[in-house]
């Protein structure tokens, strides 16, 4: 993403600063397991990629995850940080990064969630960031989105079946394409020797 992209997204989120934070996406509510802690193990680590205002990552932190919220917009991240402070959430990291150039650590996350964002060039990095046994929760627009939003850039729209194809070798818990949205929830399998 260019500096222009950062300015663009900062303007969008600046216009929404006084709005109430949206609810977490329903896919998380249905497919994210509760954190069970006996106090001896580290809490699970989650990544909310292209987090926007952070409603999903903050909800994950409330469930017991340590969460990295990553977005290009400093404005959005500052709003998420303010909300985290109000909720007294401590295990949250706010990372501003160019999502075209991001380097995501391999095998770091127990959960990666992505909503309404697509960059095909980093799809292999997203896959690699999930630990064995961890899960991906991904939802974004597909090509049917142009029926209601004809000006939407088709570069950011999935073809039918494309999202499932990226995770076809994983254990799929949920996949579908309701209306103009593509969704997948999948577990990363054990590595084969």
Give the distance from CA 83 to its chain's centroid.
Answer: 18
The DSSP secondary structure of 8-30, one letter per residue, reads: HHHHHHHTTTTSPPPPPPHHHHH
Fold classified for 1-22+51-101: Rossmann fold (3.40.50)
- Give the domain ranges of the chain: 1-22+51-101, 103-193
Q: Are strands 130-141 and 109-115 parallel, antiparallel or unpaired?
A: parallel
Q: Under a CB-based contact definition with an 8 Å cutoff, are residues 188 and 131 in contact?
A: yes
Contact status, residue 167 vs residue 184, Cβ threshold 8 Å: yes
The predicted model scores a pTM of 0.91
Q: Which residues, including other chains, have CB under 8 Å from residue 181's CB and lie 6 or more apart?
A: 139, 140, 141, 142, 145
Q: What is the pLDDT along the chain (193 residues), one digit of tens a residue?
A: 556 677 777 677 777 777 788 899 999 999 998 888 766 778 899 999 999 999 999 999 999 999 999 999 999 999 999 999 999 998 999 999 988 878 899 999 999 999 999 999 999 999 999 999 999 999 999 999 999 999 999 999 999 999 999 999 999 999 999 889 999 999 999 876 5
pLDDT digits (tens, 9 = 90+) for 102-123: 889 999 999 999 999 999 999 9
Specify which residues 181 forms β-bridges with.
Answer: 141
| Calpha distance 96→146 (Å, rounded) | 29
Matching fold, domains 1-22+51-101 and 103-193: yes
Please state which CATH class domain 103-193 belongs to.
alpha beta
């Amino acid at each position: 993403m260019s500096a222009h992209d950062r300015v663009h997204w900062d303007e969008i989120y600046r216009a929404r600063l006084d709005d109430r934070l949206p609810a977490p996406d329903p896919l998380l509510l249905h497919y994210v397991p509760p954190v069970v802690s006996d106090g001896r193990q580290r809490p699970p680590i989650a990544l909310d990629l292209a987090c926007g205002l952070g409603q999903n990552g903050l909800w994950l932190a409330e469930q017991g995850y340590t969460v990295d919220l990553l977005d290009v917009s400093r404005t959005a991240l500052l709003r998420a940080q303010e909300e985290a402070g109000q909720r007294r959430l401590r295990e949250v990291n706010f990372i501003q990064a160019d999502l075209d150039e991001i380097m995501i650590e391999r095998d770091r996350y127990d959960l990666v969630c992505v909503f309404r964002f697509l960059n095909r060039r980093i799809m292999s990095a997203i896959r690699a960031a999930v630990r064995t046994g961890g899960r991906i929760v991904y939802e974004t627009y597909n090509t049917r989105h142009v029926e209601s939003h004809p000006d939407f850039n088709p570069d950011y729209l999935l073809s039918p079946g494309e999202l499932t194809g990226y995770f076809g070798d994983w254990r799929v818990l949920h996949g579908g394409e309701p209306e103009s949205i593509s969704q997948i929830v999948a577990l990363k399998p054990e590595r084969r020797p």
